Amino acid sequence: MNIIHIVFVTLSIIVANEAKVLNKNVDTCQEILGDELIEEIWGYENVKDEILKYVIDGDFKRKTYDELAKFVDKFGARPSGTEVLEKSIDYMIDLTREEGLNDIVTEELEVPRWERGEERITMLEPRVKDISVLGLGRSVSTPPEGITAEVVVFKSFDELENTPDEKVAGKIVLYAPIFTKYGETNKYRTQGATKASAKGAVASLVRSITPFSINTPHTGSQTYGEGVIPIPTAAIAIEDADLISRIHARGEKVVLHIRMFSNLETKVSRNTLIDLKGTQNPEKLVIVSGHIDSWDVGQGAMDDGGGLFISWAAPVILKRLNLIPKRTVRAIFWTAEELGLIGAYAYEKAHRHESDNINFIMESDEGTFAPLGLAVGGSKKARCIVGEVLKLFKSINASTLVEEDAPGSDIGIFTGNGIPGASLHNDNAKYFWFHHTEGDTMNVEDPDELDLGAAFWTAVAYIIADLSEDIPR
Ligand SMILES: *[C@@H]1O[C@H](CO)[C@@H](O)[C@H](O)[C@H]1NC(C)=O
Ligand SMILES: [Zn+2]
């Protein structure tokens, strides 16, 4: 044996072993499901094709995009607790009734109304410059005359904790963490003010949670921990955050003047439930959902207009095609997601006694770019069933199953409790470029990608709602 031969043999063994491991996985799902259920799932191929054709090439083509555009152009931003949000809910109800869907219920709940007032940050030292700013949700106001103080910059909470209190007290904290993943980096936005206040800071700023910026600050929610003094808190554009960080790192003093005003009240809003009643088990639910509220900047077209409209489309398309599954398909338009999943928490509480009836819960709130598949939470068998269903969507490249323990924002409350569910997995590398900014407008949305999303969402919901077997816990 020469060396090349040895390498070849070794490689063959490695390849053979990997193939075995892969086959073993395939076998387990096959064994868990059994031939009958697999055959049953593949029996939906024609229905799936019918739905895809109707939405991508048929009468529904562009409808999701056009209706979304009409909606966001009419209402614009729809912050929690505003009249415009309530009017947009009424509009969606009318739009749905026009489709002959009349099983519509709204459920009232109390929501915060956080109203942004004037916001201005000016760098005074080492030179005068306006800073691009957006206050964070629930931020308190500065005193009328504003706050003028020196900045201390931290890359992490560890750095802050390891700094003596007297070096932070009376200062403005700027968190300038490197963006890794949204779910990792956003703690500097959600908890930053609390941790800075505990060290005696007078205000806290965060480098916008985004991988990309054209001087656009990104707002978002935050909450004050119990027992800390609430201090004004805002996001600044990454260009300005990096400018301040560089000057600070050179040992130069940076002084900012901050004026921020806001008002916080409690109002009433509504979750909206639209049912396409199942033929055999109407009490059992397959839920498709998105949130109807948005931040107060941009149009809320992407976050979460797209998710709202593909979820609206699901019962509408099924009704139009007279495809009524065994279980009920319920579209939910969550309210007040942005200030802390308020609508979803209220729904979970109000319906807890019947939570066994949720067979599967879906949410789209991470963009409606081209669908790639689903991020699925649930038992092994639940994932095997959904994985088999996803194989039907090879023709539109939407067959990927990502395993996640608690997928979703609003539905994370349910999937975290062990209810099987999924969030739309899509080609959303640019989602966090626009998210929570003035840039979240209709220009981010694409009609063909929305068609693919609506078709996929509808067909998946239909198949799962119609299968002979429940999705097991
Ligand atoms: C799916 O992927 C293939 C190969 O990359 C591509 O040619 C095709 O256009 C894609 N289909 C859709 C619907 O995106
Ligand atoms: Zn959202």
CATH topology of domain 115-263: Glucose Oxidase; domain 1 (3.50.30)
The DSSP result for 399-422, as a single string, is -EEEE-SS--STTHHHHTTT--EE
Question: What is the reported pLDDT for 50?
Answer: 98
Residue type, 280: Q
Q: Which residue puts its alpha carbon closest to atom 3 of ligand 1? A: 397
Paired sense of beta strands 233-236 and 133-135, if any? antiparallel
Is residue 396 within 8 A of residue 52, CB to CB? The reply is yes
Q: What is the mean pLDDT of residues 410-436?
A: 96
Q: What is the mean pLDDT of residues 90-113?
A: 98
Percent of the chain beyond pLDDT 70? 94
Residue type, 274: I
254 C-beta closer than 6 A to ligand 1: no
- Please list the residues that pair with 400 across neighbouring strands: 373
Residue 66: pLDDT above 80? yes
Handedness of CA 454, 69, 98, 423 (dihedral sign): positive
398 C-beta closer than 6 A to ligand 1: no
Paired sense of beta strands 255-276 and 104-125, if any? antiparallel
**365 CB neighbour count, 10 Å cutoff:** 25
Using alpha carbons, select from 223, 140, 143 the residue that is nearest to residue 189. 223
Q: What is the DSSP letter of 166?
A: G
Residue 385: pLDDT above 70? yes
* pLDDT bracket for residue 25 (50, 70, 90): low
Is-cis flag, bond preceding 304, omega within 30? yes
Q: What is the mean pLDDT of the chain?
A: 95
| Distance in angstroms (rounded) separating the CA atoms of residues 467 and 382 | 12
- Please list the residues that pair with 177 across neighbouring strands: none
| Distance in angstroms (rounded) separating the CA atoms of residues 282 and 238 | 50
Handedness of CA 375, 380, 386, 392 (dihedral sign): positive
Question: What is the reported pLDDT for 308?
Answer: 98
Closest ligand to C-alpha of residue 294 is: 2
Residue 16: pLDDT above 50? no
Ligand 1 atom with the shortest distance to the CA of 396: 13
Using alpha carbons, select from 258, 207, 203 the residue that is nearest to residue 229. 203
The helix (H) or strand (E) run that includes residue 132 is none
- Please list the residues that pair with 286 across neighbouring strands: 329, 360
Q: What is the mean pLDDT of residues 267-286?
A: 98
CATH topology of domain 2-103+277-466: Aminopeptidase (3.40.630)
Is residue 397 within 8 A of residue 427, CB to CB? The reply is no
Question: What is the reported pLDDT for 20?
Answer: 41
What three-state secondary structure class fits 160? helix
Question: What is the reported pLDDT for 19?
Answer: 42
- Please list the residues that pair with 120 across neighbouring strands: 259
Ligand 1 atom with the shortest distance to the CA of 452: 13
Residue type, 13: I
Question: What is the reported pLDDT for 447?
Answer: 98
Q: What is the mean pLDDT of residues 168-173?
A: 98
Question: What is the reported pLDDT for 118?
Answer: 98
Residue 8: pLDDT above 50? no
Using alpha carbons, select from 335, 318, 316, 336 the residue that is nearest to residue 326. 318
Q: What is the DSSP letter of 354?
A: G
Paired sense of beta strands 172-175 and 281-291, if any? unpaired
Q: What is the mean pLDDT of residues 71-84?
A: 98
What three-state secondary structure class fits 65? helix
Using alpha carbons, select from 398, 413, 392 the residue that is nearest to residue 337. 413
Residue 426: pLDDT above 90? yes
Is residue 24 within 8 A of residue 418, CB to CB? The reply is no
Using alpha carbons, select from 453, 449, 378 the residue that is nearest to residue 414. 378
72 C-beta closer than 6 A to ligand 1: no
Show the beta-strand stretches assigned E in 251-299: 255-276, 281-291
> Ligand 2 mean position to 91 CA, how many Å?
20
Provide the residue ranges of all domains of the chain, joining segments of one domain with +. Answer: 2-103+277-466, 115-263
396 C-beta closer than 6 A to ligand 1: yes
Handedness of CA 424, 428, 432, 436 (dihedral sign): negative
Question: What is the reported pLDDT for 27?
Answer: 62
Residue 464: pLDDT above 70? yes
Residue 252: pLDDT above 50? yes
- Cα 195 versus chain centre, distance: 25
| Distance in angstroms (rounded) separating the CA atoms of residues 247 and 256 | 13
The helix (H) or strand (E) run that includes residue 299 is none
Tokens linked to 146: 């504003």
Q: What is the DSSP letter of 398?
A: -
395 C-beta closer than 6 A to ligand 1: no
> Ligand 1 mean position to 43 CA, how many Å?
24
Q: What is the mean pLDDT of residues 438-446?
A: 98
- Angstrom CA distances, 79 to 53, 273, 452, stand at 36, 20, 28
Residue 24: pLDDT above 60? no
Percent of the chain beyond pLDDT 90? 94
Following CA atoms 364, 367, 371, 376 in sequence, which dihedral angle do they give, to the nearest 10 degrees? -40
| Distance in angstroms (rounded) separating the CA atoms of residues 333 and 321 | 22
Ligand 1 atom with the shortest distance to the CA of 370: 14
Helices (H), 57-135: 63-75, 83-97
Question: What is the reported pLDDT for 134?
Answer: 98
Mutate to test the pocket of ligand 1, among 397, 399, 446, 449 (most ligand atoms within 8 A of CB): 397
Following CA atoms 214, 217, 220, 222 in sequence, which dihedral angle do they give, to the nearest 10 degrees? 140
Place of tokens 């054209």: 214
Question: What is the reported pLDDT for 349?
Answer: 98
